[in-house]
Chain A
Amino acid sequence: MQIKEIEEEVHYTIQIFGDVDAASSINLDKAFDKALSLKKKKILIDCTNLDYIASAGLGVFISYIEPFKENNINFILFGLNPKVKDVFTILGLDKLLKIEDTKEAAKTHL
């Protein structure tokens, strides 16, 4: 798995590449922790190149819901392929997290 962080004028984008599983989720956690410490207020999570996610990855997403909320940070996921989106849906996490199909839609709702 690889992570890329992009600072834009308004948005801070975290791009995820490859598989987020029990072995690699620590890297996603570090990226979220960094965004939190930088106090970025509008975070886009680009999942266009996310091929697979296991519970360890889901755990990272939901463990930051409260810290981001406390710091008035909005974050939104976009570009999930059907397999990855299904994994979020199995546990109803698609109702807890903001998820959009495209970057444009994500920007609009951020």
Chain B
Amino acid sequence: MNHSYKATCVCDNLKLIREFVEKSLQNLVLSEIEVNQLVLAVDEICANLIIHAHQCNPDDILQINIFQQEKQLIFEIINNDQQPFDLNTYKNPSIQKIVEERQKGGLGLLLVHEIMDVVAVNVQDETCTWRLVKYLEASEAKL
């Protein structure tokens, strides 16, 4: 299993990205809800990158790679953002505080952390890679 997709940094491409992720997972033994969660996690990272890192610049590109290493399902989102979000300083926001302050944002990364087992970001040689890992049960790892 090794799937790759490139999309320009416009929000209208989010639906195409979701369709790519869903199609890439179709041969795994995952429930509809599990697939939707994985699609959602990738969608959230891509939306953040498109809107905040690339300001919806259609000249910029995201590459999404999906592959499996034994019982790990790995999603990489690659772009040229040189100043990615610092996950080391990230603290889960309080939902109650978000409600009280009537915030519309702040839930995306929280969802990603709830869904994925590993969330990491790394910049090397002018390439920024978000790496999301989901551990699969033995029964789910069949291709």
Contacts and interface: CB of A to CB of B under 8 A. Distances in A.
B60 to A, nearest CB: 16
Interface in B82-126: 95, 98-100, 102-108, 110-111, 114-115
Interface stretch (A7-15, A17-25, A40-48, A99-107): A17-25
Interface in B62-99: 95, 98-99
Interface residues of B, number: 30
A96 interface: yes
A65 interface: yes
A29 B104 contact: yes
A66 B100 contact: yes
Interface of chain B, main secondary structure: helix
A25 B43 CA distance: 14
Most buried by B among A54, A64, A90: A54
Interface of chain A, main secondary structure: helix
Most buried by A among B33, B103, B104, B115: B104
Contact of A63 (B11, B32, B33, B102): B102
Contact of A21 (B47, B98, B99): B47
Contact of A91 (B36, B95, B102, B105): B95
A96 to B, nearest CB: 7
A92 to B, nearest CB: 7
B44 A55 contact: yes
A62 B51 CA distance: 21
B14 interface: yes
Given A54-B43, A54-B47, A59-B105, A90 B111 contact: yes
A21 B33 contact: no
A18 to B, nearest CB: 9
Interface of B: 11-12, 14-15, 18, 32-33, 36-37, 40, 43-44, 47, 50-51, 95, 98-100, 102-108, 110-111, 114-115
For the complex of A and B, 5 pairs with smallest distance between CB atoms: A23-B11, A59-B104, A22-B47, A55-B107, A55-B108
Given A87-B40, A93-B95, 11 more contacts: A22-B14, A23-B14, A52-B36, A54-B47, A55-B107, A59-B103, A65-B99, A86-B37, A87-B36, A91-B95, A92-B95
